[in-house]
Structure 1
Amino acid sequence: MALCSFSASISLRKHHHPLISTLPTLPRKKNFLRTCRSSSEPNEDYFLDAPVSVGDGFSFSGGKYSDEPSPADEWFKQGKIVKAHPVGGTGEKAKDPIFGLAMAGSSQASTDLFRWFCVESGSSANPPVVLIHGFPSQAYSYRKVLPILSKNNHAIAFDWLGFGFSDKPQPKYGFDYTLKEYVESLESVISEFSKDKVTLVVQGYFAPVVVKYAKDHQEKLNDLILLNPPLTAKHANLPSTLSIFSNFLLGEIFSQDPLRASDKALTSCGPYKIKEDVAMVYRRPYLSSGSAGFALNAISRSMKKELKGFVEEMRRTLTDENWKVQTTVCWGQRDRWLSFEGVEDFCKQSNLQLITLPMAGHHVQEDCSEEVGNLIAGIVSKRRRI
C-alpha cells in the first residue's frame, strides 16, 4: 500500500461539456502535488539494482522454457486482435531495408485494416480506460494495472503498431512510423474500442502523440493521465540508448539485438532489473523475426526527427486556455532518461495535477504497478462522483 503525502494549491478554471451547454460551470479541481512512497514489500517482478538473473533467455526453442509454456504465449492468450486503421502503401509484399529480400509473414500487413493486439479487463458496461504504452515497450507493461482497474472500469491495453503482437509493417509498405501516422492510427483504434468518452493513460515518449490526438478530440475524453511524459524542452532529445537505433546501418544492426532493443532499453531508464520471465515477454517480438527490429529502427528515426516539434506543441496545448481535459502527470523520480527539473514548474503553470513516485523510474507502471493502478482508479472514480 502506498503512503501519500500531498500539498495543494488552488486554481479555478471553467469546464464546459462540448455537447450539452446546459451543464453547470464547474470550478477546476485543486492542483495537488502528491508524493507516493512504495510499501516495504518488494515487487515480485523486480530486484532493486540487482544483477541480471540467471537463464539463457535467447531462444524460445531451447533452454529455460523448452519444456514449458512461454510466458509470452501465456500473455498472448489473454488478448485478442482488433482491426483498425486502413493499410496504406501499394499493397506490395514487404522487403527488408538492408538486402531487399522478401520478409516473413509477421512483417506483412493485412490487406485492409491493421491488426492490433489488445488485452481487456472488466465489464464493457463500465467506463473505458485505455492504457497506452511508451517507446519502446508493450501493453504487457500494464499487466498488473489491468486487474486493479477492472473492478469498476473497462480497462484496455494495446500494442502500438510496430510493437508487441500488433502488426509490424515495414516502412513504405503500409506504415512509415511517422508521429503523424501514429496520431491518425490512434484515432482509428480508440474509435474501435469505444464509442463513448474514454480516459486515456499514456507513458513516456508517446505522450506527445496522444496529446496531439486529444487536442482535436477533447469531446471524446474524460481524463488524460501522463506517466513520465517529455514535458520540457530538454526532454525532446532521445537518450543515447534509444537514439542509437536511428543511426545509419548501426541502427539496423543494433535494433536486431534483443538484449539492446529490449533489455537495455527497459532497464537503463530506471533503478530496476527485470526478472527473466518478464524479460522473455519483452524479447519475444525481436526473437520471432526481424520485423520488430526494423520497426524500432524506423520509429527511432521518426522520434529523433519529429519529437521536438511534438513536445513543443504538447506544451502549448496543455497551457492553452482552450484545453478543457482534466490532466494528471504521474512522475517516477528515478527516471534516468527524463530529468524532473522543470516538471513541477510546468505543471504549476499549466494547473496540472502532479503526483510523484520517488522509487519509480521511467516505466512507472512497471516499477510501481499497484500504486499507479490505484492512482488511475482514484482519478476515474472521483470524476464519477462529481
Structure 2
Amino acid sequence: MAICLSSASFSLPKHHSLISPSQFLLFTKKNSLLTCKSTNDSNEDYLLDAPVSVGDGFSFSGGKYSDEPSPADEWFKQGKYVKAHPVGGTGEKAKDPIFGLVMAGSSQSSTDLFRWFCVESGSTANPPVILIHGFPSQAYSYRKVLPMLSKKNHAIAFDWLGFGFSDKPQPKYGFDYTLKEYVDSLESVVDKFSKDKVTLVVQGYFSPVVVKYAKDNQEKISNLILLNPPLTEKHGNLPSTLAIFSNFLLGEIFSQDPLRASDKALTSSGPYKMKEDDAMVYRRPYLTSGSSGFALNAISRSMKKELKGCIEEMRKTLMDENWKVRTTVCWGLRDRWLSFDGVEDFCKESKHQLITLPMAGHHVQEDCSEEIGDIIAGILSKRRRI
C-alpha cells in the first residue's frame, strides 16, 4: 500500500485502498525521480514520474509522464512540420486571458507562417488523400488508417491549429479560431501538401469547415468522405461535454484539465475506452502548455456561436445541383453525441452514399480503424461498398 503526495504529482494505483493512520509514508529521491515506499513487504514501490507500466503512468511534473520514451514521443518522431497560412495579429507577445501575463516562449506562434504538424505515409507519386481529425482530437486518431491507405495513395494526416503538435496561437495574437479562419487556413495547408486533386476525409464537427472549403475549390477535390458529420438541425448544439469549455471562466479552468479536455471528451462520445498509451498522446498538449487549453476554449466558443449556421450552409451545399464532388457519409451508429435520426433521409435526398458502422461511435477512426481504412481504400479505388 502506498500513497504519494507532492505539489506536482499524484499517483494512486486503482487496486489500493485508503491509507490507515498506522501506516508510514517515506519519500526518497532516486535518480531524480520520486520513489514511494510502503511499510509492508508486498514490494509495491513505484515511481511518480515513471513509465506507464509502473504506477498509473500519469504525472503533471514538467508536462511529461517520464524520462523514458512515451507514445507521444514515438508519434512525434513519425511526423514533420510544414508552414502554411500567414500569421495575423500585431506581433505583440501573447498574454494569458485570465491574468494578462505574458506567456512563455513555447506558447508563441511563428512570426510568418503557422507550423502544422503532419504525418505522411506512402509514395508522393501516388494520389493524395488528406485525413482531417475532428473536434477535439488529433491526427493521431488516424494512426492505424495511414498505413492501410499508403499502399496505393499518399496519405497525410495533420493537426489543426490549436490541436496536437501544431501551433496554438493565443486568440487575438494571430488566430482567433473562427470557422472562417479555419476555412482559409485549410486552403493554405492543402495547397502546401499537394497541387493535384486530393481526396479529403474529415471527421465530426470540422466537417462544415471542410465542405465550405470544398465548395469553393471543387476542381481540386476528387472525393469527399465525411465521418459522422453534423448533418441535421438537431446536430447544431454542442454536447455538454464540449459546450462546457465555452463557459465564461469555468471554460478556461476546465480547458486546462487534461483529463476533461482529452480523455472525457473522447471517451464520452462512443463505446470505446482508450488504452493508457493512447490517452498519453491525447493528453500531452494539455500537459506541456496552457496555450492548448486556451485554444480549446476559443474553439468551443466559436463552435457554439457559429455551428448552426455552418451546418445549414453545409446541408445546402451538399444538396445543391451544382455540387459535383463525389461524396460519401460514413456513420458510426453508436455515436453518443450526434443522433442518426434524419441522417439516412438526408443522404437519400441528396443522393450521397451512406455507409453505416454498427459498432463505431462518433470517432469512427478510433473505434473501427481497420474497417474505416478498408472503406476509404475501397472508395479511392472506385469500388462501391454498401
The yes-or-no answer on 1:150 pairing with 2:165 is: no
1:378 alignment partner in structure 2: 378
Counting only pairs closer than 5 Å after superposition, residues 84-233 of structure 1 correspond to structure 2 as 84-233=84-233
Task: Give the Cα separation in 1 of the matches to 2:247 and 2:60.
Answer: 27
SS in 2 for 1:331: strand
1:338 alignment partner in structure 2: 338
Counting only pairs closer than 5 Å after superposition, residues 9-20 of structure 1 correspond to structure 2 as none
1:59 alignment partner in structure 2: 60
2:356 alignment partner in structure 1: 356
Task: Give the Cα separation in 2 of the matches to 1:110 and 1:301.
Answer: 24
1:107 positional shift? 1.7
Normalised TM-score (structure 1): 0.84
SS in 2 for 1:376: helix
2:283 alignment partner in structure 1: 283
Task: Give the Cα separation in 1 of the matches to 2:61 and 2:128.
Answer: 35
Q: Structure 2: which 5+ residue stretches go unaligned?
A: 1-53
Task: Give the Cα separation in 2 of the matches to 1:225 and 1:60.
Answer: 40
Per-residue CA deviations over 1:132-168 (Å, capped at 9, x if unaligned) read 0000000000000000000000000000000000000
SS in 1 for 2:74: helix
Matched-pair contact (CA < 8 Å) for 2:142–2:157: yes
Matched-pair contact (CA < 8 Å) for 2:336–2:362: yes
SS in 2 for 1:272: coil
Task: Give the Cα separation in 2 of the matches to 1:233 and 1:313.
Answer: 11
1:66 positional shift? 2.4
Amino acid at match of 1:70: S
Task: Give the Cα separation in 1 of the matches to 2:106 and 2:237.
Answer: 31
Amino acid at match of 1:58: S
Amino acid at match of 1:85: H
Task: Give the Cα separation in 2 of the matches to 1:231 and 1:204.
Answer: 10
Normalised TM-score (structure 2): 0.84
Task: Give the Cα separation in 2 of the matches to 1:321 and 1:95.
Answer: 47
SS in 2 for 1:273: coil
Q: Which runs of 4+ in 1 moved over 2 A?
A: 56-63, 65-68
Q: Residues 62 and 103 (structure 1 numbering): CA distance in 2 closer, same or farther, change over 3 Å? A: closer
The yes-or-no answer on 1:265 pairing with 2:256 is: no
SS in 2 for 1:182: helix
Amino acid at match of 1:169: P
The yes-or-no answer on 1:83 pairing with 2:83 is: yes
Q: Residues 303 and 54 (structure 1 numbering): CA distance in 2 closer, same or farther, change over 3 Å? A: farther
SS in 2 for 1:99: coil
Q: Structure 1: which 5+ residue stretches go unaligned?
A: 1-52
Larger radius of gyration: 2
Per-residue CA deviations over 1:342-375 (Å, capped at 9, x if unaligned) read 0000000000100000000000000000001111
RMSD: 1.5
1:128 positional shift? 0.1
Matched-pair contact (CA < 8 Å) for 2:63–2:284: no
Q: Residues 69 and 210 (structure 1 numbering): CA distance in 2 closer, same or farther, change over 3 Å? A: same
1:104 positional shift? 1.5
Task: Give the Cα separation in 2 of the matches to 1:86 and 1:167.
Answer: 12
Matched-pair contact (CA < 8 Å) for 1:137–1:282: yes
1:252 alignment partner in structure 2: 252
SS in 2 for 1:90: coil
Task: Give the Cα separation in 2 of the matches to 1:293 and 1:375.
Answer: 34
1:295 positional shift? 0.1
1:61 positional shift? 5.5
1:67 positional shift? 4.9
1:269 positional shift? 0.3
Matched-pair contact (CA < 8 Å) for 2:63–2:288: no
Task: Give the Cα separation in 1 of the matches to 2:146 and 2:173.
Answer: 33
1:59 positional shift? 3.5
SS in 2 for 1:311: helix
Task: Give the Cα separation in 1 of the matches to 2:380 and 2:297.
Answer: 36
The yes-or-no answer on 1:70 pairing with 2:70 is: yes
Task: Give the Cα separation in 2 of the matches to 1:266 and 1:360.
Answer: 13
Per-residue CA deviations over 1:231-283 (Å, capped at 9, x if unaligned) read 00000100000000000000000000000000000000001110100000000
1:70 positional shift? 1.2
Task: Give the Cα separation in 2 of the matches to 1:255 and 1:61.
Answer: 18
